[in-house]
Every structure is written in C-alpha cells, then in structure tokens.
Chains A and B, each alone.
Chain A
Amino acid sequence: MHYLEFVKPIEDILFKNKIKFFTKGYKEVQQKDLDNCEKLIICGTSLKDNIFIEDAKTRFSWIKVFDKPILGICGGMQIIGKVYGANVGQKTEIGFFKEIFDKEFLGMKGEEEVYHLHNSFVYLPMHFENYGVSEIVQAMKHKEKEIYGVLFHPEVRQKVIIENFSLL
C-alpha cells in the first residue's frame, strides 16, 4: 500500500503534465529499465519501511554510472547519498516545517513550508551542493551531474519540483 501513498501522487503529477512514465519496485529494477528511461525518480516510503537503506550502497550502485537525471525523494535522497559515500543520521521530523532555500532549486527558492516524514537524513556527500540553509540537508544537487535529492515530500506542497525535474 506504500505505492498509493508515496508513488501514485507522483504518477498523478506526471500524468497531469502529460509525461510518459513507467513504475518499478526497487527490487525489480533491471538494466533494461535503466536503459529505457530518460530520467529517474526514486520515491520515498513510510517511516516503518526502512530496510532498503541497509544495502543501499551495493543494491543501488548503478546510480553512479547512470548518466541521466535522477531525483531522489526522502528515502530516495538517502539512497543517493549513501551511494556517494555519505552517512545517514537519525532525526525524526513529521509534518510541516519552514525551510529556507538560498539558491534556486528546480524552480523553488526562499522560504517554503515543506512536508517532512522521516526518522533519518543523509549528510551532504562529496561532489554535492546544499541548496538550503539548515544544517540537515533539505535539497542537494551533484555539482556536475543532474542528480537531485530532497529530504521532504515535494508531492505535498512543492509539486513544481517534480514538474520542473520532469521537464529538464
């Protein structure tokens, strides 16, 4: 049922913007899926569903050689961070929080009320830039590649991020 809560809202945004997509569970992703897509979104999941992070570094090692745009949301951002060698820290934040983004991030800038649903976060990996001002990285991008990560859930109040990413 995590699909309905964390994936379907993102599919709805893509559908509304007439963007073609296909969806795969992370355990089912194959090389041909990676070859067949132009961009990739790694969606988040529930607080209790957190085993994916344990073997993220090996299971998702393909992220490093995938040369197309990626957007990681919450758990998806933590996966990207881990693959790039960063550690995961513990902090529980649930609900609306005000965050400040001092650099424009996929069309979002300034103070934003974002929806948090996480018990953990990832430290800023090497080669990545922090787009926000808070100590815990809220939005990051690889300095050379189009790899984006957000800790909050943009499908709740910042749909523009997903739209802009899909239009890159």
Chain B
Amino acid sequence: MRLGVLFSGGKDSTYAAWLAKKMGYSIECLIAIYSDNKESYMFHTPGIELVEEQAFLMNIPLVRQETKGLKEEELKDLESAIKKAIKKHAIDGIVTGAVASVYQASRIQNICNRLHIECFNPLWQKNQIELLEELIKNKFEAILSGVFAYPFDAKWVGRKIDSKFIEKIKELQTKYKINPAGEGGEFESLVVSCPLFKKKLDVKISDVRGEGNAWRAIFE
C-alpha cells in the first residue's frame, strides 16, 4: 500500500512515518500544511519552515499546501492537499500522528472516508509517557520548538526531549495535569535527528519570541 504522511516535522508525525515504514509500507510523500494562523486547531506551525529540509533528509517528496488556517476552511485546504497527493503520488492511504485529539482525528477520518482511502493512526490512544520513552529508545532526537501553556516559559524552548525531560514532564503532569506528549497544544516539537534522516538536521534557534506562557523558537 502506498501511503502519504500528514507531516508537521514534529515528533508524532515523524514517529508515525517511521512506524509505517518499519511495518513495510511504502511512504510515497509527506503532506505538509503551512498555516498562517498560529492558533490553528488542526495544524502545528512552529518549525514548519524546516519541513522541506526534513523531507530532503528523508528523501521523500513533499506535497505543500498553504492555508489561512480559518476554522473550517483549513479542512478544505487539507482535503485539496490530500487530493493533490493522491493524484501526484497515487497514494491509497494517509498516516497521521494523532494520539488523543478526537477533533483532529475525526476530521481527517472524514476526509479520507470521502476520498475512499485508508487512514492509519498508529499512535492512537497511546500512553503519552510510553510514547516519549519509545522515541528516545528508537533514537529520535526532538526539541521543543514552542510552548503554549502554564507552567512553561521561554526557557523550555529548544529543550531536548530526553529522559530528564520525561522525568520533569511526569512531575508537571501530576502537578498541573498537562498532557505529557503535548498533544493538547501544551508544546510543539521539532525532530532534528531520527532513523529516517540521512543526517542530522542543521538547525539553530536565533531567537525565542512570545509572552507569558506562550513562546516559540525563531530558527535561523
């Protein structure tokens, strides 16, 4: 089966892509949505300018689609992106990194159902701590590219997701009930190295911008 990965460059979609490949599926393209709206419910924007470089490191073609990121309009843009991928790369299924978000997952399921293609969510309902631990075990190196909830601040941006991070996030989970994998939008990540990349992503954070508990990295 030929699959396209709905790809943000973050840990979940990259790990989902790796799982699909490991299970023997052929990844024909990555589908990336560039949203103008930084508050988008559907698409995670920090670091997306690096997605082209990640696709190059994976040697997988990228299907790009821009969206204004308005609530239901962005779904039409997602659907056109998937249609483009079906036409250009003859995919018969989509892989997503959805873990717990019914909002995201059900909208993508709807689109795939209309277009008569498979929709794979290999991380669906996965225990969030287990997910972080598997990433490390499988040599995924990811950093926080943005934080968007209390008690995070600017200091967290750029931090590596390692075992120390997991310990800290477990503490915060108990204390503040934050979602340890960040899928509730608490933080966004960027994969800088993983078994799918032919070399490490060359990336430097030049600035961290934001206020209060919402900060994002500006990449050079």
Instruction: Decide yes or no: A94 and B106 within 8 Å by CB, A47-B119, A48-B118 being known contacts.
Output: yes
B125 at the interface (CB under 8 A from A): yes
Please give me the residue from chain A that is nearest to B93 by CB atom.
A48
Contact between chains at B106 and A96 (CB < 8 Å): yes
Instruction: Decide yes or no: A115 and B119 within 8 Å by CB, A47-B109, A47-B112 being known contacts.
Output: no
Contact between chains at B125 and A12 (CB < 8 Å): yes
Contact between chains at B109 and A9 (CB < 8 Å): no
Give the Cβ gap from A94 to chain B, nearest Cβ, in Å: 5
Give the Cβ gap from B77 to chain A, nearest Cβ, in Å: 19
A117 at the interface (CB under 8 A from B): yes
Distance, CA A156 to CA B121, complexed state (A):
13
B25 at the interface (CB under 8 A from A): yes
Contact between chains at A9 and B124 (CB < 8 Å): yes
Within 8 Å by CB of B102, from A4, A8, A9, A95, lies A95
B136 at the interface (CB under 8 A from A): no
Instruction: Decide yes or no: A5 and B124 within 8 Å by CB, A47-B113, A94-B113, A95-B102 being known contacts.
Output: yes
Contact between chains at B124 and A48 (CB < 8 Å): no
Provide the residues of chain B in CB contact with A2, threshold 8 Å. Answer: 120
Distance, CA A46 to CA B121, complexed state (A):
10
Distance, CA A166 to CA B69, complexed state (A):
44
The binding surface of chain B is classed by DSSP as: mixed
Interface residue tally for chain A (C-beta within 8 Å): 20
Distance, CA A96 to CA B109, complexed state (A):
12
Distance, CA A156 to CA B101, complexed state (A):
10
Contact between chains at A1 and B122 (CB < 8 Å): yes
The binding surface of chain A is classed by DSSP as: mixed
Interface residue tally for chain B (C-beta within 8 Å): 25
Distance, CA A4 to CA B18, complexed state (A):
13
Provide the residues of chain A in CB contact with B168, threshold 8 Å. Answer: none
Give the Cβ gap from B78 to chain A, nearest Cβ, in Å: 15
Within 8 Å by CB of B120, from A5, A9, A92, A117, lies A5
Distance, CA A48 to CA B119, complexed state (A):
8
Distance, CA A95 to CA B108, complexed state (A):
10
Within 8 Å by CB of A95, from B106, B117, B118, lies B106
Distance, CA A42 to CA B119, complexed state (A):
20
Please give me the residue from chain B that is nearest to A159 by CB atom.
B125
Within 8 A of A (CB), among B135-170: none
Contact between chains at A46 and B125 (CB < 8 Å): no
Within 8 Å by CB of A4, from B116, B124, B127, lies B124
Residue ranges of B at the interface with A (Cβ–Cβ < 8 Å): 19-20, 23, 25, 93, 95, 102, 106-107, 109-110, 112-113, 116-127
